[in-house]
Amino acid sequence: MKAVRVQYTVKPEYVETNKSNIKKVMATLRSNPIPGMQYASFILDDGQTFVHINMAEDQETLDKLQQVEEFNEFRTQLKASGPVSPPQSENLNLVAAGFELS
């Protein structure tokens, strides 16, 4: 199991665009899922900081997200927006889960 947490803060005027771009990625993943991957995005109470959690069965599965056009478009637009705090990635090590892991 591989898990990655990415956090970043966008400018107030970019929040809605970022939400829309994330929703496009998630719609694509719902209609064309990557087997063995669970991916979700959250926004913190400050209304500008986003957290993405991606869990995958292995690195190969995790890397498949890079092949999703909407994900690459999301990343390109996020970078071009000049985020307040750029994406910071952390690897997470699973201790246990209260749900089935695929």
Would you say 76 and 83 are in contact if contact means Cβ atoms under 8 Å apart?
Answer: no
Boundaries of every domain in the chain: 2-92
What are the φ/ψ torsions at residue 68 (nearest 5 degrees)? -85, 115
User: Can you give the pLDDT at residue 36?
Assistant: 94
Architecture per CATH, 2-92: 2-Layer Sandwich (3.30)
Amino acid at 57: E
For residue 7, name the pLDDT band (cuts at 50, 70, 90).
very high
Single pTM value for the model: 0.94
* pLDDT tens, position by position, 17-46: 999 999 999 999 999 999 999 999 999 999
> Does the structure show a pLDDT above 70 at 102?
no
- Mean pLDDT value of segment 55-68: 95
